[in-house]
């Protein structure tokens, strides 16, 4: 889930076959009317799970980043045997992982969704904030293409797009309620896992990355001097280590199976 397009090109050449669908309301996917489609993480996971069944893509390594975590973890909890290995990049599953950027969500919106509690958070959906998310905490911001935030904002200008995102902002509280379930899954299933964590993420603190090691003590951890979208300026380090991890730790197990 949320597999970056430039990472796709680097790992595909090494015989890995990534798929990365845009969720409804994101990218070039359709954006159904909110009156007929519930923009929740449950619903997005249901759609992606259905796609995986249709294309018979039910044995895979899962790459999760940001929203990809809540969606991906729902799917593998429903189908634990689908998961063969796991890549985590700045996708939170522990309350300790929230930075202060979440204060307005946690203390206001999640407790009482009104126009007043939505108002301050609408700024996250404007161009300056979207650009800041891409650049904040990145050691080499000059490597990050402006196409990222310009394209994201262009999609945000579609009629109804901001309200779709606000629906998901509000529904994110339900992800937190599932954190113990996901942690239990990791602790009991202990999938082969490699973690990349941008230490300067505007949304998810380093403690969120470290917390995974409590449930996945054998996971391989890479602490990156980067931000939320670490693949933007750490592409080579991430892609090389994904391939090395797959070839050295995962492929041998899959061959024995």
81 — alpha (psi -120 to 50), left (phi > 0) or beta?
Answer: alpha
**Angstrom distance (rounded) from CA 257 to CA 254:** 5
**Angstrom distance (rounded) from CA 77 to CA 151:** 33
Sheet strands side by side (includes 193-198): 60-64, 83-89, 193-198, 220-224
The two three-digit tokens of residue 151, written as one number:
């394209």
Element (H, E) at 70: helix 68-78
**Angstrom distance (rounded) from CA 42 to CA 34:** 15
Beta-carbon count within 10 A of 51 CB: 12
Catalytic position from the list 5, 6, 79, 228: 228
- Bridge pairing between strands 193-198 and 220-224: parallel
Closest to 211 measured CA to CA, from 197, 229, 228, 231: 197
The two three-digit tokens of residue 250, written as one number:
């995962």
222 included as an active-site residue: no
Residues designated catalytic: 228
């Amino acid at each position: 889930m949320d597999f970056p397009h430039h990472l796709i090109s680097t790992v595909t050449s090494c015989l890995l076959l990534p798929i990365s669908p845009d969720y409804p309301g994101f990218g070039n996917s359709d954006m159904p009317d909110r009156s007929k489609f519930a923009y929740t993480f449950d619903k997005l996971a249901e759609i992606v799970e259905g796609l995986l069944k249709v294309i018979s893509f039910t044995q895979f390594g899962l790459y999760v980043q940001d929203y990809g975590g809540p969606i991906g973890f729902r799917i593998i909890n429903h189908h634990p045997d689908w998961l063969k290995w796991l890549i985590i990049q700045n996708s939170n599953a522990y309350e300790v992982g929230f930075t202060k950027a979440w204060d307005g969500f946690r203390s206001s919106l999640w407790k009482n969704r009104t126009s007043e509690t939505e108002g301050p958070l609408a700024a996250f959906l404007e161009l300056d904030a979207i650009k800041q998310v891409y650049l904040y905490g990145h050691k080499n911001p000059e490597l990050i293409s402006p196409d990222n935030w310009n394209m994201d904002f262009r999609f945000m200008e579609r009629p109804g797009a901001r309200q779709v995102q606000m629906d998901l902002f509000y529904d994110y509280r339900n992800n937190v309620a599932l954190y113990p379930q996901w942690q239990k899954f990791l602790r009991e299933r202990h999938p082969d896992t490699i973690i990349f964590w941008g230490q300067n993420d505007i949304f998810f603190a380093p403690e969120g990355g470290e917390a995974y090691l409590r449930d996945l003590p054998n996971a391989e951890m890479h602490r990156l001097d980067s931000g939320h979208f670490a693949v933007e300026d750490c592409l080579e380090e991430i892609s090389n280590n994904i391939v090395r991890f797959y070839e050295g730790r995962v492929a041998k197990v899959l061959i024995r199976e």
